[in-house]
């Protein structure tokens, strides 16, 4: 009788944990922590994935900007396009939206067109 009670308790806790992970409480999506214009995540797992992709976008932009600076230092000119930097194609687009980064070759500036990432 005790073993059955322990197994039922573990099962109930497992179900509650699954509900909390996948449906969450909705706290962070409602309190303004989302970037403006970004779709709300469907679950806690979605929130974590979205945060990780935002960090990946910032890192991509940082590495692209460093590659542009190295190019300017060695060749004293901005590259014509981001493809000329020799970086992987997956690094030249936002991991959240899949949109390619916008590059101004006259100024050497690169930015993300995804809503909420424009300040990166």
pTM: 0.62
Per-residue pLDDT tens digits for 19-42: 777 766 555 444 444 555 555 556
Interatomic CA distance for residues 18 and 44, integer angstroms: 10
Nearest to 35 by CA among 104, 103, 112: 112
User: How many C-beta atoms surround the C-beta of residue 99 within 10 A?
Assistant: 12
Per-residue pLDDT tens digits for 36-94: 555 555 666 777 777 788 888 999 999 999 999 999 999 888 998 999 888 898 899 99
- 19 phi and psi, to 5 degrees? -60, -45
Residue-wise DSSP of 47-60: HHHHHHHHHHHHHH
């Amino acid at each position: 009788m005790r073993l059955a009670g322990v197994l039922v308790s573990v099962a109930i806790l497992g179900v509650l944990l699954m509900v909390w992970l996948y449906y969450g409480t909705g706290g962070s999506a409602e309190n303004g922590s989302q970037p403006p214009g970004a779709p709300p995540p469907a679950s806690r797992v979605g929130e974590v994935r979205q945060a990780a992709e935002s960090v990946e976008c910032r890192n991509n932009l940082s590495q692209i900007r460093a590659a542009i600076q190295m190019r300017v230092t060695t060749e004293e000119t901005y590259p014509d396009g981001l493809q000329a930097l020799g970086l992987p194609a997956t690094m030249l687009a936002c991991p959240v939206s899949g949109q390619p980064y916008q590059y101004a070759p006259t100024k050497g500036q690169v930015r993300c067109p995804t809503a909420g990432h424009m300040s990166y």
